[in-house]
Amino acid sequence: MEPATEKEKQEQEITEHIKALKDRKTSKRQEAARALGRIGKAAKAAMEPLIKCLSDKDSMVRAWSAVALGEIGDPKAIDALTHTLRSDILTVRIRAASALGAIGDPRVTATLIEALEGEEPMLQESAATALGILRDPRAIEPLIKVLQGEDATLRWRAANALELMGKQATKHLSQILRSQQDPLLRRRAAELLGRIGDKRAAKTLLKTFQEDPDTSVREEAARALGRLDAKGTMDPLLEGLQDQEVRRTAAESLAHIEDGRAIEALIKDLKDRSPQKRRAAAETLERIGGPATETTLKALQKGLLDMQPWVIEFLGKYGDQRATEPLIRALQVDDIVLQRAAAEALGNRRDQRAIPHLIQALRHDSYEVRQVAAKSLGNMREAAVELLKNSLHDRDPKVRYWATTILGRIGKPATKTVPMIITLLTDRDPSIRQSAAWALGEIGSQQAIEPLRQALKGEKKEQVKAALKWALAILENT
Cβ–Cβ < 8 Å for 426, 433:
yes
With 60 as the cut, is the pLDDT of residue 395 above it?
Answer: yes
Q: Rounded to two decimals, what is the model's pTM?
A: 0.56
With 90 as the cut, is the pLDDT of residue 409 above it?
Answer: yes
Domain ranges for the chain, please list them.
Answer: 1-134, 388-478
CATH for the stretch 388-478: 1.25.10.10
What per-residue confidence (pLDDT) applies to 262?
65
242-286 residue pLDDT tens: 677 777 677 667 766 655 566 767 777 777 777 777 777 777 777
Mean pLDDT of the 396-411 span: 94
37-91 residue pLDDT tens: 999 999 999 999 999 999 999 999 999 999 999 999 999 999 999 999 989 999 9
> Rounded distance, CA 224 to CA 218, Å?
10
366-384 residue pLDDT tens: 999 999 999 999 989 899 9
With 90 as the cut, is the pLDDT of residue 434 above it?
Answer: yes
163-205 residue pLDDT tens: 999 999 999 999 998 886 788 889 999 999 989 989 899 889 8
What per-residue confidence (pLDDT) applies to 7?
86
What per-residue confidence (pLDDT) applies to 148?
84
Cβ–Cβ < 8 Å for 42, 10:
yes
pLDDT band at 301 (very low <50, low <70, confident <90, very high): confident
User: Average pLDDT, whole number, for the chain?
Assistant: 88
Cβ–Cβ < 8 Å for 100, 128:
no
Q: Do domains 1-134 and 388-478 have the same CATH topology?
A: yes
With 90 as the cut, is the pLDDT of residue 449 above it?
Answer: yes
Spelled out in words, what is the top-level CATH class assigned to the domain 1-134? mainly alpha
